[in-house]
């Protein structure tokens, strides 16, 4: 069983739609990370969360520690948001070790 599960695996949206990507994890964590990977492969760290909510532009990330769940929201989606979004957790008591979800492939259609 994967320690980090993401849903959906694939998502297609019309430009302007509100998008939600979900991440559930089964282990104790010290932080949860949302990463973005564009076609061409580069990976960028979007957010690091250990509690509550963070916002950056049109992106919002939330985490519920008790439920072991996080969501990434994109408001007013745009074709340039098309990418793979990856959830990753860093585990407690295992040093700086990261576990990754398999990613959500998002396509935003003009």
Q: Which parts of this chain interact with other proteins (CB under 8 A)?
A: 30-31, 33, 35, 41-45, 48, 86, 88, 90, 95-103
Tell me how far apart the alpha carbons of residues 63 and 70 are, in angstroms, rounded to a whole number: 4
| CB closer to other proteins, 42 vs 57 | 42
Pairing assessment for the beta strands 43-49 and 29-37 based on DSSP bridges: antiparallel
CB of 86 vs other proteins, minimal distance in Å: 7
CA-to-CA separations, 24 to 5, 18, 69, 91, in angstroms, rounded: 5, 20, 4, 14
| CB closer to other proteins, 55 vs 78 | 55
| CB closer to other proteins, 11 vs 101 | 101
């Amino acid at each position: 069983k994967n320690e980090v599960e993401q849903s959906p695996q694939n998502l297609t949206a019309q430009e302007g739609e509100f998008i939600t990507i979900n991440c559930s994890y089964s282990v104790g964590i010290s932080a949860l990370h949302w990463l973005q990977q564009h076609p061409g492969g580069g990976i960028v760290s979007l957010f690091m969360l250990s509690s509550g909510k963070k916002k950056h532009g049109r992106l919002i990330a939330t985490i519920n520690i008790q439920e072991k769940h996080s969501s990434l929201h994109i408001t007013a989606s745009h074709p340039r948001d098309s990418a793979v979004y990856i959830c990753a957790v860093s585990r407690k008591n295992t040093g700086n070790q990261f576990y990754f979800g398999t990613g959500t492939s998002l396509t935003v259609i003009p």
